[in-house]
Amino acid sequence: MVPLVAAQSFGLGLPIREYLLAGLTAAVVTFLLTGLVRVLALKLGAVAWPRGRDVHVTPTPRWGGLAMLGGVLGGIGLAAQLPALRLAFDYSTDVQGVLLAALLIVAVGALDDRFELDALTKFAGQITAAGVLILFGVQWSVFWIPWGGGGSGISGSLLVLGPEQGVLLTVLITVALVNAMNFVDGLDGLAAGLGLISAAATGVFAIGLVQQNGNDATAYPPALLASVLAGACLGFLPHNFNPARIFMGDSGSMLIGLMLAAVTTSASGKLAISTTTDGTDILALLAPVIVLAAVVFVPLLDLLMAVVRRTRAGMSPFAPDKMHLHHRLLEIGHSHRRAVLLIYLWAAVLAFGAVALALIDDPFFVLWAVAVGLGVAVLASLVPRARNRTRTPPPSPLPPSPLPPGPLSGPGPESRR
């Protein structure tokens, strides 16, 4: 195999240090660019003004996605100069396709952050970006299904996808992840943290794929893309964590969703057929989907119930309100930062648990560890409610002494109507 021979000709093992260096470069570039992008957003009016359903109360600049894109480009640019990772560009067009799709999706998101594009235009941009991935060969070709294996225990079989089926699945996963990431971007640092966790978990699995493929250079792109995305999210977090000085906007959330979809799709083509019959590799590939599905499940259920309730009451079913998961955590009694950290905990348990099932030979140990992690997350989520039930109500404040009539007295009953 030519790429394998080329990789071995450098006398290299797994290029883990190179991946870390590319990710660190993306983090540093993103961190440095974010301040400049913030000034640019303020000058050009790309500002998020508080709305009734928002958590922030002060106008905050957007366009953080532009800085994140700069970090991704910086990390990939460095990787192209490293002898080991250069092979990812020589024997695959995945990275080039993802970069072109990322440029397109960030452009659409930046325009939406400034001019509030309609939903149809944004959807068309998402479909076009997914089409760019497909044109460069980034699409699903096989998928595990949990039946037809004929073995004992949990077994399944591989479904070989035709061109039309592969295109449809790629578009569905890409659009779903893009919109799910946009959907959860509601608290300072939430989307960036979820992107960091999902990219790191998927990157660990992608490095495992490189090892399974005997350090074949054609398996390099997924790990490289995951490392630079994780780095970009990490570099943006100091500016975006509560209290946020800048939002990533749709340009950032859609970039994260697109690259997560591209990493999982690219890695799906690097799976060895002998390792996919138990479904754990596919589960690991879909770790970002699992994380985002878990995070948006509660608000989607609330939204469905609200639509039914409003329709029965004769109201519009699409009226916006505060029903996202992070809003629920705030209502329970968590602080802003604690709510975000709790969602980080849920995401990390689910993402790394899914990856561990594919990389560790003892699935029962992994499942027990995941169960313990989920139990800790549940208890931590319910702590404020337990405190609120046992907390005695504070004493009512004394009524203020009335002011004598005059210019310092407040407005009378007539003026307050």
Which pLDDT does position 330 carry in this prediction? Answer: 63
Q: What are phi and psi of 391, to 5 degrees?
A: -80, 130
- Please give the residue that has the higher pLDDT: either 400 or 102: 102
Residue 417 domain-assigned (yes or no): no
Please tell me the distance from the alpha carbon of residue 184 to that of residue 237, in angstroms, as a whole number.
15
For 355-376, the pLDDT digits (tens) are 998 888 788 898 899 999 989 8
Distance separating alpha carbons of residues 301 and 165, to the nearest angstrom: 29
Q: Read off the DSSP letter of residue 145.
A: E
Q: What tokens were used for 266?
A: 């690219």
pLDDT of 417 reads 36
Residue 398 confidence (pLDDT): 47
399 in any annotated domain: no
Residue pLDDT, tens place only, 160-174: 788 888 899 999 999
pTM of the full structure: 0.81
Comparison of pLDDT for 48 and 68, the residue scoring more? 68
Residue 337's pLDDT is 82
Selection from 58, 68, 153, 138 nearest residue 97 by Cα? 138
Write down the mean pLDDT value for the chain: 80
Q: What is the pLDDT of residue 149?
A: 58
252 domain-assigned:
yes
Number of domains in the chain: 1
* pLDDT above 70 (res 328): no
pLDDT digits (tens, 9 = 90+) for 231-255: 999 999 999 998 889 999 999 999 9
Q: Does residue 115 lie in a domain region?
A: yes
- Displacement of CA 56 from its chain's centroid (Å): 20
**pLDDT tier for residue 326 given thresholds of 50, 70 and 90:** low
pLDDT at 324 over 80: no
Q: 59 lies in a domain? A: yes
Q: What is the pLDDT of residue 75?
A: 97
Lowest mean pLDDT across 45-49, 188-192, 193-197, 207-211: 45-49
pLDDT band at 6 (very low <50, low <70, confident <90, very high): very low
- What's residue 150's pLDDT? 55
Question: Between residues 379 and 77, which one has the greater pLDDT?
Answer: 77
- Cα separation, 273 vs 384, in Å, equals 48
Least confidently predicted of 1-10, 41-50, 155-164, 269-278: 1-10
Closest CA to 238 of 71, 414, 407: 71
- The two tokens of residue 11 are 């006398």
In this predicted structure, the answer to whether residue 13 has a pLDDT above a threshold of 70 is yes
Range of the structural domain that residue 136 is part of: 2-143+156-276
Q: Is residue 300 part of a domain?
A: no
pLDDT at 384 over 90: no
- Residue 39 counted as domain residue: yes
By the 10 Å C-beta count (0-12 exposed, 13-18 middle, 19+ buried), 189 is classed as buried
Rg of the chain's alpha carbons, rounded to an integer? 24
Task: State the residue for tokens 């883990």.
Answer: 16
Q: Taking Cα atoms as reference points, which of 223, 225, 234 lies closest to residue 193?
A: 234
52 pLDDT above the threshold of 90 = no
Query: What percent of the chain clears pLDDT 70, i.e. is strictly above it?
Result: 74
Give domain status of residue 116, yes or no.
Answer: yes
Q: Ranked by mean pLDDT, which of 11-15, 56-60, 202-206, 408-412 comes out on top?
A: 202-206
Chain CA centroid to CA 210, Å: 23
